[in-house]
Amino acid sequence: MSLVGRIQDELDRLKMENRFRELPEIGERSGRFIHSGGRRLLNLSSNDYLGLGDDQCLLGKYLGAAGGELARYAMTSSSSRLLTGNHKFYGEIEEFLAAWYKRQSALVFNSGYHANIGILPALSSRHDLILCDRLNHASIIDGCRIAEAAFRRYRHRDYDHLEFLLGEAQAGYRQVFIVTESVFSMDGGCADLERLCEIRDRYGAFLIVDEAHGAGAFAETGQGLCEASGCTDSIDIIVGTFGKAFASIGAYGIMSALLRDYLVNTMRPFIFTTALPPAVLGWSRLVLEKQMAMGPERSFLQSLAERLRRALKAEGFSVPGESHIVPVVMGSNDNALRAAAHLQEEGFLVLPVRPPTVPENTARIRISLRADLSWDDISRIPEILKSVNGDP
């Protein structure tokens, strides 16, 4: 069969299985609302956990403070960081991050995807083993696949299984790497970082924690679960992203000075790409500073999530996890599509998440909460879902 024929068959199959994806038409955003399909909907599908993405006051401050200078903050860096793209803002952000996390150094990347497909391939070799939580984000999985090291997945948050694999592997590999998300993006569950640090110590492994959904959403100063669990000092590399609670674009790694030097010299998605624009870096720096004082908003966000979880469970729904990401498991793709469509009719922008993003038969809707919501904004959701699915 020709390439075109095979592609057509594959797309037809996706349609038949209700897994065909199309890019949604998204209009203007205003605070916690977003315009889609000509309607104003409550935005429960973004990663803007602190509501800073459309903070007109902060944006005005940035544009105003930069004043005439902003025009000089180029919209492109025109080159990679190792050539002429290393704007002074990079140094300022990295110093700020290292001081905030009280660690030796930080390195800024173009995105979380760049970070995750670059770090493990740079650090590991074919003599090594990577152990990866089964529900880790696709960018982490892609990094594991690109790396020359052997790669195995342990059952989601099952640290006995991780230890079993570590025990099996101990003699056969030069170095074992453990990689996990802190807050899992698809089920809203939290990794047990204290236990992971203890396991890492006992087996002499190397621990990488992706805080994409934890940073900004947990703990007093917003470092994420590493701060909340008192593990900031002891995780070998903490990855954070600017594109979620920090309302910008890019990512960072927190690490030793030695590792930073090594990544600057060997990490391909760091070396071979155009650096971030200065205008974006200036904004990221401002948001980082601002969000540090948003501990009360973070506490509110987590208490709102707890309340919604309780209300959904009281209606009989399966609601895994324990964070501001609240998935409601619907089972079949069809059920998840129907529930999302109904919530949208009722004014809530909630999207379905289907296999292969999540395991078979656990299609779900994913409610992504934000600190600028009130309980009144979302209190009708359990009742609306019940009316679509009957008794779950």
In the complex, the residues that contact ligand PLP under the rule CB under 6 A are: 111-113, 116, 137, 139, 181, 185, 210, 212-213, 241, 243, 251
User: DSSP string covering 117-143, please?
Assistant: HHHHHHH--TT-EEEEETT--HHHHHH
| Residue placing its CB nearer to ligand PLP in the complex, 284 or 389 | 284
What whole-number distance in Å separates Cα of residue 118 and Cα of residue 263? Answer: 9
Shortest distance, position 294 Cβ to ligand PLP, whole Å: 20
User: 325-331 and 129-133: which strand pairing?
Assistant: unpaired
| Residue placing its CB nearer to ligand PLP in the complex, 211 or 377 | 211
| Residue placing its CB nearer to ligand PLP in the complex, 114 or 290 | 114
Q: Residue 68: CB partners within 8 Å, gap ≥ 6?
A: none
| CA dihedral of residues 203, 208, 211, 214 (deg, nearest 10) | 0
Shortest distance, position 60 Cβ to ligand PLP, whole Å: 25
Shortest distance, position 116 Cβ to ligand PLP, whole Å: 5
| Residue placing its CB nearer to ligand PLP in the complex, 52 or 251 | 251
Shortest distance, position 202 Cβ to ligand PLP, whole Å: 26
What whole-number distance in Å separates Cα of residue 343 and Cα of residue 336? Answer: 11
β partners of residue 34: 29, 41
| Residue placing its CB nearer to ligand PLP in the complex, 113 or 283 | 113
| Residue placing its CB nearer to ligand PLP in the complex, 105 or 116 | 116
Chain position whose Cβ is nearest to ligand PLP = 112
Q: Residue 269: CB partners within 8 Å, gap ≥ 6?
A: 109, 110, 114, 115, 117, 118
Shortest distance, position 89 Cβ to ligand PLP, whole Å: 18
| Residue placing its CB nearer to ligand PLP in the complex, 137 or 309 | 137
Instruction: Look up residue 288 and give its two tokens.
Output: 């980082």
Shortest distance, position 212 Cβ to ligand PLP, whole Å: 3
Report whether 112 contacts 309 (CB < 8 A): no
User: DSSP string covering 10-47, please?
Assistant: HHHHHHHTT----PPPEEEEETTEEEETTEEEEE-SSS
Instruction: Look up residue 387 and give its two tokens.
Output: 């009316």
Shortest distance, position 252 Cβ to ligand PLP, whole Å: 10
